[in-house]
Amino acid sequence: MSEWFNDTGMQNDIVISTRVRLARNLKGIPFPHKAGEENCRKVVALVEEALSALNYKFTKVDLSQLTQTQRQALVEERYISLNMAECKRPGAVFISEDKTVSIMVNEEDHLRMQSIFAGYESQKAYDIISKVDSYLAEKLEYAVHPKYGYLTSCLTNAGTGMRTSYMLHLPAIVNAGIAENLFAAAGKLGITVRGMYGEGTKAGGYLFQISNQITMGRSEEEIMTNLSKVAENIIAKERELRTKMHKQKGVVMEDQIMRSLGVLRSARLMQSKELLTLLSNIRLGISLGLITELDSKTLNSLMIETSPAHVTNENITTAMERDIERARIIREKLVKG
**According to the 3-state scheme, what is the secondary structure of 187-212?**
HHCCEEEEECCECCCCCCCCEEEEEE
Domain count within the chain? 2
Q: Do residue 298 and residue 218 come from a single domain? A: no
Q: Based on the number of CB atoms within 10 Å of its own CB, is 277 exposed (0-12), middle (13-18) or buried (19 or more)?
A: middle
pLDDT at 296: 86
Q: Do residue 203 and residue 298 come from a single domain? A: no
Cα(289)–Cα(93) distance, rounded to whole angstroms? 40
Q: Categorize the per-residue pLDDT at 9 as very low, low, confident or very high, splitting at 50, 70 and 90.
A: very low
Cα(174)–Cα(182) distance, rounded to whole angstroms? 10
Q: Do residue 97 and residue 131 come from a single domain? A: yes
Q: Do residue 196 and residue 254 come from a single domain? A: no
What global pTM score does this model have?
Answer: 0.89
Please name the residues in contact with 209: beta carbons below 8 A apart, sequence gap of 6 or more. 165, 166, 167, 168, 193, 194, 195, 196, 198
Q: At what angle do helices 296-305 and 272-287 cross, to 10 degrees?
A: 170
Q: Do residue 205 and residue 118 come from a single domain? A: yes
Q: Do residue 227 and residue 263 come from a single domain? A: no
Q: Which structural domain range is residue 271 located in?
A: 250-336
pLDDT at 61: 97
pLDDT tens by residue, 247-298: 999 999 999 999 999 999 999 999 999 999 999 999 999 998 999 988 888 8
Please give the mean pLDDT across all residues of the chain: 91
pLDDT at 7: 45
The three-class DSSP label of residue 72 is: helix
pLDDT at 4: 47
Q: Categorize the per-residue pLDDT at 335 as very low, low, confident or very high, splitting at 50, 70 and 90.
A: confident
Whether 10 shows a pLDDT value over 50: the answer reads no
